[in-house]
Amino acid sequence: MAYDSFSVLKSSAVPLPIENVDTDQIIPARFLKATERKGFGDNLFRDWRYDKNDQPKADFVLNNPTYQGKILVGGKNFGSGSSREHAAWAIYDYGFRCVVSSFFADIFRGNAINVGILPVQVSPEFLHLIFEAIENDPKAEFEVNLEEQRISIVSTGASESFDINGYKKHNLLNGFDDIDYLQAMKDEIVSFASNR
C-alpha cells in the first residue's frame, strides 16, 4: 500500500482563488533536489508563502491561521506546467488529501491520484459556491464522498457529483496503486513485448 486509502473526507478548506496555478508555484524547481520523498510540504508554494528573507508573507492564505483543512480549493487550470510529481508530494506532505478546482492540468491530475490525493473537478458555478461558503465562514465544512462521487457544502447542503474512472476509484478506496496491478500482469507484458 503506497498511501492511506480514501473514502469520506469531511473538512474545512483552504481557498486559493487564483487561475493557472502552475507547478513552479506549487514547488519551485530549486527544491527538487532531494533523492527521497520527504519534507516537500515545507516548500509548498514557497515563493508565495515566504519572502526573500524566508519570512512568512502575512497576506498568503497558508500563513493565515483562519484557514485550515485537508481540502485545497484552487482556480481554473490548477497544476499546469511541469510533470514534477514533487508538486503532488508537496501538497500531500503539507496535509491536503483533496484538491478542488473547476479544471485540472492532465499530468498533475494523474500525479495527484497516483500519490493518494483526490482531484475533484467541479463546475465553475459550484467552485464559486465553495469560495463563497469559505468567505462567509472560514470554518465552513465540506464533505467529499469518493464512493458516491459527490462533494457537498455541509452548511447549505448544496452538492455536486464528480467524475473518476472506476479503476482509479477502486485504487483510492483501497489504497492500491498501479504498480501492484502492473506487477501482477508481468507475463502478459513480456509476451506483448516479444511479439512486437
Partner 1 sequence: MSKTPSTLFDKVWDSHVVRKIEDGPDVFFIDRHFIHEVTSPVAFLGLETRGIGVLFPEKTFATADHNTPTINQHLPVEDPLSANQLLQLEKNTSKYGISHWGLGNPKNGIVHVVGPENGITLPGMTIVCGDSHTSTHGAFGAIAFGIGTSEVEMVLSSQCIMQPKPKKMIINVNGTLGKGVTPKDVALYIISKLSTSGATGYFVEYAGDVFRNMSMEGRMTVCNLSIEMGARGGMIAPDQTTFDYIDGRELAPKGADWDKQLAYWKTLKTDDGAVFDLVINFNASDIEPMITYGTNPGMGMGISKHIPKATDVEGGVATYEKSLDYMGFAEDDAMIGKKVDYVFIGSCTNGRIEDFRAFASIIKGRKKAEHVTAWVVPGSHIVEKQIKDEGIFEILTDAGFELRQPGCSACLAMNDDKIPAGKYAVSTSNRNFEGRQGPGSRTLLASPLVAAAAAVTGVVTDPREFL
Of 130-149, binders to partner 1 (CB under 8 A) are none
What does R_g of the chain's alpha carbons equal in angstroms?
18
Query: Could you tell me the smallest distance in angstroms from the CB atom of residue 141 to partner 1?
Result: 26
Q: CB-wise, 70 or 86, nearer to partner 1?
A: 86
**Distances, alpha carbon 80 to alpha carbons 16, 129, 164, 168, in Å:** 15, 23, 19, 21
Give the total of residues touching partner 1 (CB under 8 A). Answer: 57
Q: Which of 52, 54, 59, 125 binds partner 1 (CB under 8 A)?
A: 52
Q: CB-wise, 11 or 43, nearer to partner 1?
A: 43
Query: Could you tell me the smallest distance in angstroms from the CB atom of residue 154 to partner 1?
Result: 27
Q: Which of 73, 88, 140, 146 binds partner 1 (CB under 8 A)?
A: 88
Q: Return the C-alpha cell found at 86.
A: 514533487
Q: Near partner 1 by CB under 8 A, which window of 19-27, 56-64, 133-141, 147-155? A: 19-27
Query: Could you tell me the smallest distance in angstroms from the CB atom of residue 73 to partner 1?
Result: 14
Q: What is the DSSP letter of 22?
A: B
Instruction: For residues 25 and 8, give the distance between their C-alpha atoms in angstroms, rounded to a whole number.
Output: 29
Neighbours of 69 (CB within 10 A): 23
75 near partner 1 (CB under 8 A):
yes
Instruction: For residues 3 and 26, give the distance between their C-alpha atoms in angstroms, rounded to a whole number.
Output: 21
42 near partner 1 (CB under 8 A):
no
Q: How far is CA 71 from the centre of its chain?
A: 8
Q: Near partner 1 by CB under 8 A, which window of 59-67, 79-87, 91-99, 136-144? A: 79-87
76 near partner 1 (CB under 8 A):
yes
Q: Give the start-end residues of each E strand in the chain.
A: 8-16, 71-74, 98-101, 118-121, 141-145, 150-153, 159-161
**Distances, alpha carbon 178 to alpha carbons 1, 38, 158, in Å:** 10, 21, 34
Q: Which of 49, 60, 61, 81 binds partner 1 (CB under 8 A)?
A: 81
Q: Near partner 1 by CB under 8 A, which window of 66-74, 75-83, 91-99, 143-151? A: 75-83
Q: Return the C-alpha cell found at 35.
A: 533523492
